[in-house]
Amino acid sequence: MRKVPVSSIQPGMKLARPIYDTMGLLLLNSGVELKKEYIRNLKKHNIFSVYIADKIIPDVDIEDVIMDETRRKATVLIRDIMLDIEKQPEKPVSKLLLAKSNIHDTLQDIIEQLLKNKNLIVNLSDIRIADNYTFAHSVNVAVMAITAGISLGLSRSQLKNIGLGSILHDLGKVKIPSSILNKEGKLSPDEFLEIKKHPGFGYEMVKTQELIPGPSALIIYQHHERMNGEGYPEGLKSEQIGLLSRISAVADVYDALVADRPYHSAYPPYKAIEILESSGELFDLKVLHNFIQHIAAYPIGTFLGLSNGEIGIVVNNTVGHPTRPRVRILCSKDGFEPLIPYELDLMEKRNIVIDMVFNDDEIPEEILNRPTT
């Protein structure tokens, strides 16, 4: 299967992964043949891409680093928490969080699943709908922050703290007007000042609550601080920023870069990684290095041009080697001449490098529809 923009979907294609709405209810199940009506509804829900089954890599699955059910449960959970706080601002946050106290059980499930995952590399990006962005983003940041924490050798208690702080890092956004949060286009200086208040709002909600350990609360307050002092709300530098906050900050920026929004398209992972690396003075370099080791720069299903003159599709990635995937060769760069399919592992062929990345609509139909197994 591979990820395809909704704009490129053709009737008759089959979904390879299910799609859920904001409530966690199933919209379309895997195996469903996409009809014109379904495609219109996907666009109506502001779903920008889906995973489809195809003939090129029918034998290759793209697995999430945690179970689908766990991710879905966590997304609905954080949604309920934030909406409850928004609807009942007069109630202490501790009571609202206590009502959702299974957040600790859900985070424990996430941690256990990540610790048991032998190839802990993010190949799959979740399918989000527009009004689900903040909740899905919160879960993604938690999952990726915990993953980086595992790579850095954090203890289980630290993993719990970084998971809790990361999944609640945007809690303060419940006090920011939706007209600002969802604005299309550049924010005015006054609007940006309003956005910059959300870490403080979130921290004020939880700092006195026993349900939130101090390091977790600091993540909520510090996730927009930057190593060179250019962050907010306090302009802290370097070691003044807690380690867990530095980890969550990287995960927060990366996930924002690779997410489709109504007002801008997602960056592909390799480009998002380039942006992070070129902004190294903003982030803890050790944290950034460990984080990138677990992100597939070219996820499964990506079409690549190679320096040997061939074009292929990524079929596997390995932790620690995010830019050296295994590729199933499909055709030549010269006129897209079909080749006998074979697999080439760039970890073994160090003399061959990736020099192009193709979009789906740049690959001829005869190549896309040609079986390779």
Identify the CATH number of the domain in which residue 249 sits: 1.10.3210.10
Which string of DSSP letters, residue by residue, matches 101-124?
TTHHHHHHHHHHHHHH-SS--B--
Q: According to the model, what pLDDT value does residue 144 have?
A: 96
Q: According to the model, what pLDDT value does residue 296 have?
A: 94
Whether residue 319 is contained in a domain is answered as yes
The side-by-side arrangement of strands in the sheet containing 338-345 is: 338-345, 321-332, 310-318, 303-306, 354-358
Whether residue 59 is contained in a domain is answered as no
Q: Give the count of alpha carbons within 13 A of 49, CB side only.
A: 19
Rounded Cα–Cα distance for residues 224 and 234 (Å): 9
Question: With pLDDT > 90 as the criterion, what percentage of the chain qualifies?
Answer: 59
Cβ within 8 Å of residue 162, ≥6 positions away: 142, 145, 146, 149, 154, 215, 216, 219, 244, 247, 248
Cβ within 8 Å of residue 182, ≥6 positions away: 262
Do 9 and 93 belong to one domain?
no
Do 146 and 48 belong to one domain?
no
Q: According to the model, what pLDDT value does residue 185 have?
A: 79
Do 108 and 238 belong to one domain?
yes
Cβ within 8 Å of residue 248, ≥6 positions away: 141, 145, 162, 165, 166, 169, 219, 223
Whether residue 63 is contained in a domain is answered as no
Whether residue 348 is contained in a domain is answered as yes
At which of 262, 292, 322 does a domain end? 292
pLDDT in tens, 279-337: 989 999 999 999 999 999 999 999 999 999 999 999 999 999 999 999 999 999 999 99
Whether residue 147 is contained in a domain is answered as yes
Whether 3 and 51 have beta carbons less than 8 Å apart is answered as: yes
Q: Range of 339's domain? A: 303-368
Q: Which residue has the tokens 């469903």?
A: 32
At which of 292, 319, 348 does a domain end? 292
59, pLDDT greater than 80: yes
pLDDT in tens, 207-260: 866 668 899 999 999 999 999 999 999 999 999 999 999 999 999 999 999 987
Number of domains observed in the structure of the chain: 3
pLDDT in tens, 262-284: 667 789 999 999 999 999 899 99
pLDDT in tens, 145-204: 999 999 999 999 999 999 999 999 999 999 998 888 878 778 899 999 999 999 999 998
Do 360 and 310 belong to one domain?
yes
Q: Quick one: tokens of 120?
A: 């802990």
Whether residue 298 is contained in a domain is answered as no
Question: Using the 8-state DSSP alphabet, how is residue 339 labeled?
Answer: E
Do 157 and 185 belong to one domain?
yes
pLDDT in tens, 65-116: 999 889 989 998 998 888 888 887 776 676 666 555 688 899 999 999 999 9
128, pLDDT greater than 90: no
Do 37 and 106 belong to one domain?
no
Q: Quick one: tokens of 90?
A: 């007069």
At which of 265, 292, 319 does a domain end? 292
Between 61 and 311, residue with greater pLDDT: 311
Q: According to the model, what pLDDT value does residue 54 have?
A: 82
Which string of DSSP letters, residue by residue, matches 166-227?
HHTTTGGGGGS-HHHHT-SSPPPHHHHHHHTTHHHHHHHHHTT-TTS-HHHHHHHHHTT--T
Do 150 and 31 belong to one domain?
no
Do 266 and 172 belong to one domain?
yes
Residue type, 283: F
Q: Quick one: tokens of 179?
A: 């007209």
Question: Using the 8-state DSSP alphabet, how is residue 362 labeled?
Answer: G
Whether residue 28 is contained in a domain is answered as yes
Do 135 and 246 belong to one domain?
yes
Do 178 and 98 belong to one domain?
yes
Do 130 and 36 belong to one domain?
no
Q: Quick one: tokens of 278?
A: 């070129």
Do 204 and 309 belong to one domain?
no
* Ramachandran area for residue 38 (φ above 0: left; ψ -120 to 50: alpha; else beta): alpha
pLDDT in tens, 106-121: 999 999 999 999 889 9
Question: With pLDDT > 70 as the criterion, what percentage of the chain qualifies?
Answer: 93
Q: According to the model, what pLDDT value does residue 43 have?
A: 83
Q: What is the CATH number of the domain that holds 38?
A: 3.90.105.10
Whether residue 282 is contained in a domain is answered as yes
